[in-house]
Amino acid sequence: MIRSRLAATLCLLLFPAVPLLALGAEDPPLLPSPLSLKDLTVGSGTQRIFDLAFASTDKGFGWEIATADPGRALSGTLEFALVGGPVLRTIPLDGAETWGGYLDLSSSIGAKRVQLRLLGGPQDMRLDFSIPGPSPDLKQGQAVAVFSERTSEPGYKASRQLRLSRRSSVDLVTWGGDAEVQLEVHGPIGEGGFPPRQCDDRGDAWRHCRLESLEPGRYAVTVTGKGNPIQLLGRWQAAD
C-alpha cells in the first residue's frame, strides 16, 4: 500500500517536469546574413534547423544549396518558414546537385527572422548553403571597376543587380587590360530554381552581351575574371 502511494506521488511530481524539459530545449542557432555554411551533414531521417536574421529594410534574399559530395545528389527537403509563423517555401531536393532561388519578404513588416529547415531524406547528405547578400544595383551608363579585393588572389568575381521596370533592350560591355573574363546575365529572378541564363560571353577583357526585349524584373549580372582590373558598363532602354 505504501509502495503504491509512493509510486503515485512520484508520478504526480515527475509528470509536470516533462513539458518543462521540452520547453527548456535549446533554440536553433541564430545566424546573420550574408551566410555561408560549408560541408554541413544532414543524416537520413534527421533535421538541422537554423534561424536567419534580416533587417527591417531587407525585401528578400537569394539563396543557393549544393552538394558538398561530388557525384552524389542531395536527399531530403529544404523549408523556409517565419519563426513562429507559417511555412513560406518547401523545396524537394531528392536527385538535385544544386538548387537556388529568391525568397520574397516584402510582405513582412519590421525585423525579420526566417527559419531554415534541412530535413534529411532516405540518404545522408553533405551540403553547402549560402546567402550571398544583396548585390548593388547596376546604374545606367555608369562604369564600374571590377578587381580582386585581395592582393594575394589573382581572380575576382563581382555581381550587380539590373532592375527593369518595363520590357527593355540591354547592352552590357566589359573592357580593360590583359585579363580573362566571363560575363553572364541570369534572370528574371523568381521565387524558385535558378533563373535562366540570358548571356554567357567569355574570353579576353572585351566582353559584350546584347539582349533584346528582356521582360521586366530583376537580373543578375556577374563578371568573373583573372588578371588586371576591368570596367563594366550597362545601358538599356525601353523596347519598341
The CATH number of the domain holding residue 148 is 2.60.120.680
Check pLDDT > 60 for residue 24.
no
Determine, yes or no, domain membership for 224: yes
Give the pLDDT score at 193: 58
- Region 163-185: mean pLDDT is 91
CA distance linking residue 117 with residue 42, whole number of Å: 11
Say what the pTM is.
Answer: 0.61
Cell (9 digits) for 22: 521540452
Q: Answer yes or no: do 96 and 153 share one domain.
A: no
| Structure confidence at residue 158 as a pLDDT band (50, 70, 90) | confident
3-state secondary structure of 80: strand
| Structure confidence at residue 98 as a pLDDT band (50, 70, 90) | confident
Last residue of a domain, one of 68, 97, 131: 131
Give the pLDDT score at 150: 58
Segment 37-83, tens digit of pLDDT: 999 999 999 999 999 998 888 888 888 899 999 889 999 999 999 99
Q: Answer yes or no: do 125 and 156 share one domain.
A: no
Determine, yes or no, domain membership for 7: no
- CB hemisphere CA count around 61 (13 angstroms): 25
3-state secondary structure of 138: coil
Q: Answer yes or no: do 182 and 111 share one domain.
A: no
Question: Total domain count for the chain?
Answer: 2
Cell (9 digits) for 24: 527548456
Check pLDDT > 60 for residue 6.
no
Check: CB of residue 58 under 8 Å from CB of residue 105.
yes
Q: How far is CA 7 from the centre of its chain?
A: 54
Q: Answer yes or no: do 124 and 195 share one domain.
A: no
| Structure confidence at residue 27 as a pLDDT band (50, 70, 90) | confident
3-state SS of 181-211 is EEEEEECCCCCCCCCCEEEEEEECCCEEEEE
Which range marks the domain in which residue 80 is found? Answer: 26-131
Q: Answer yes or no: do 174 and 230 share one domain.
A: yes
Give the pLDDT score at 9: 36
- Region 155-177: mean pLDDT is 90
More confident residue, 190 or 201: 201
Last residue of a domain, one of 68, 102, 131: 131
| Structure confidence at residue 5 as a pLDDT band (50, 70, 90) | very low
Last residue of a domain, one of 84, 110, 131: 131
The CATH number of the domain holding residue 120 is 2.60.120.380
Give the pLDDT score at 128: 94
CA distance linking residue 47 with residue 28, whole number of Å: 11
